Chains A and B, each alone.
Chain A
């Protein structure tokens, strides 16, 4: 059960990242357009945030790693997305007034709105690897499995969002839905994690 949840969290986190990356393009378009440099800025910031997340997630996994803490990362990434939902448009209008060049305007906007949630998502993968590996010999095997699961989740998130979700829902509704799923999955994993911790003691 614990292992299945580790994989589920990694897969969902991958789904979540790509879904919000695609949506960020739509959120920015009314103020900064959707020319190639807007997408360039989005991808740059998401990659930077993920790389930093990997670094931090790895460090964070050294001391006393638990499923409870992994689940907390997932819930935290959903919480960090709430400002996008609540004040996203107001922030974008303000940045539009302050920064004339849409290249830097979009870069700044993605950083302010999406950097934090994506760093937290990035932390999930290395942390999850640490929870799975119990034998030195199998570390590569588990790392591979985890990459498989989380990148597969990313592919699913990309397809689902760009082909179907935007055809049915409004952007805000999709963001709320994605965050809600993160919270539900996270809270469930937390209860399971707490029980397991209690048994260990």
Chain B
């Protein structure tokens, strides 16, 4: 019987540890949605939207209470690097709202740009508005729809975007139909001349190789930015030269600094080195086990 006692003790300790962690940060709001529970927590001056209760796990979006404009996560700063490829996009599409960090930041930097946001979960939009200062408006339109469906309809209507940001993934669940060659081809079809794609993707599993070859198959060479997360940046009609990148970075520097994005940090991250296995299988609508590939 002794092993049963030991096991019970281990379970109990783990439960206690989890409970203490949950108490250390204050959950100020819980929102139920069709898809998941959304938690809003506050800890150490940081307000976060989370899909899991565990501390620091499943953080979708965080905002500093003192400096709400500051981008907290490296990945959002890297996503803003898309502007180094095209400093003045007029029409922007963002797939996945989260706390509204990216649209709010883009709206701040480019107040004249028309931004369409596609978010499938209405509860996420409610939480972004109530707790993260996100404001819908004529320049920031939210479409409550599946990203793939929106893109397909936009394509049929002949819409064009100068910048498309793909941010519909969290670290544990990927909508698999948003990570296939066919979807990226549809996104590519939405791009106007010199249109830019920025994608927040994965780096910690063998999915890395598969998503790399899939993006490469559709867009050719791309900038690969890595720092905890991974961001892919690419442009229709070829990537800009380092000199062009530097010029755009200078142009935007004052505006991006306000968001906490330093060009001295961001520019060195731009890499075109192929750090993946080129023989990995391309993800398609026929073959898209992204979540299984990400789990291993």
- Identify which of residues 268-296 in chain B touch chain A, using a CB-to-CB cut-off of 8 Å: 284-289, 292-293
Interface presence of A30 (CB below 8 A): yes
Of B44-52, B143-151, B219-227, the stretch lying at the interface with chain A is B143-151
B182 within 8 A of A: yes
Q: Is residue A130 contacting chain B, with contact meaning CB distance below 8 A?
A: no
Complex Cα distance, B176 from A36, in Å, reads 14
Is B152 an interface position by the 8 A CB rule?
Answer: yes
Among the listed B146, B284, B285, B293, which residue makes an inter-chain contact with A33, where contact means beta carbons less than 8 Å apart? Answer: B146
B289 in contact with A102 (CB, 8 Å): no
Instruction: Give the residues in chain A near B287, CB-CB below 8 Å.
Output: 166, 169-171
Could you list some 21 contacts between A and B, CB below 8 A? A26-B176, A29-B148, A29-B176, A29-B177, A30-B183, A30-B285, A31-B149, A32-B149, A33-B120, A33-B146, A33-B177, A34-B177, A36-B34, A102-B149, A166-B289, A167-B289, A167-B292, A167-B293, A170-B284, A170-B286, A172-B286
Whether B152 pairs with A96 at a CB distance below 8 angstroms is: yes
- Given known A163-B292, A166-B292, contact A33–B286 (CB-CB < 8 A): no
Across-interface contacts of A30 in B (CB, < 8 A): 148, 152, 177, 180, 182-183, 285
Q: B175 within 8 Å of A by Cβ? A: yes
Chain A residues with CB under 8 Å of B286's CB are 170-172
| B35 interface contact, C-beta 8 A | yes
Complex: chain A residue closest to B148, CB-CB: A33
| With A96-B152, A170-B284 as contacts: A33 and B289 at CB distance below 8 Å | no
A139 at interface, CB cutoff 8 A: no
Q: A102 and B292 in contact (CB under 8 A), knowing A30-B177, A35-B120? A: no
Tell me the count of chain B residues lying within 8 A, CB to CB, of chain A: 24
**Are the CB atoms of B177 and A35 closer together than 8 Å?**
no
Q: Hey, which chain B residues are within 8 Å of A167, CB to CB?
A: 289, 292-293
Residues of B within 8 A of A (CB): 34-35, 120, 145-149, 152, 156, 175-177, 180, 182-183, 284-289, 292-293
Given pairs A31-B148, A97-B156, A102-B146, 12 additional interface contacts (CB within 8 A):
A26-B177, A26-B288, A29-B176, A30-B183, A32-B146, A33-B120, A35-B120, A36-B35, A166-B288, A167-B289, A171-B285, A171-B287
Given that A36-B35, A102-B146, A170-B284 are contacting pairs, would A31 and B289 also be in contact in the complex, using a CB cutoff of 8 Å?
A: no
Q: Are A33 and B147 in contact (CB under 8 A)?
A: yes
Residues on the A chain within 8 Å of B288, using CB: 26, 166
Nearest Cβ on chain B to A45's Cβ, whole angstroms: 19
Cβ of B147: which chain A residues have Cβ within 8 Å of it?
33
Closest A residue to B147 by CB, please name it: A33
Task: Indicate if the CB atoms of B35 and A33 lie closer than 8 Å.
Answer: no
CA distance A81 to B284 in the complex (A): 22
When distances are taken between beta carbons in the complex, the residues of chain B under 8 Å from A31 are 148-149, 152
Which A residues touch B148, using CB under 8 A?
29-31, 33
Q: Which residues of B contact A35 (CB under 8 A)?
A: 120, 146
* Cα distance A194–B120 in the bound complex, in angstroms: 55
Query: Cβ of A36: which chain B residues have Cβ within 8 Å of it?
Result: 34-35
Closest to B296 in A: A167
| Residues in A neighbouring B152, C-beta threshold 8 A | 30-31, 96
A31 to B177, CA, bound (A): 9
Rounded to whole angstroms, the CA-CA distance of A36 and B120 in the bound complex is 10
B48 CB, nearest partner CB in chain A, Å: 25
Task: Closest B residue to A38 by CB, please name it.
Answer: B146
Please provide the 7 A-B residue pairs with the shortest distance between their CB atoms, ordered closest to farther: A33-B146, A29-B177, A170-B286, A167-B289, A166-B289, A33-B149, A36-B34
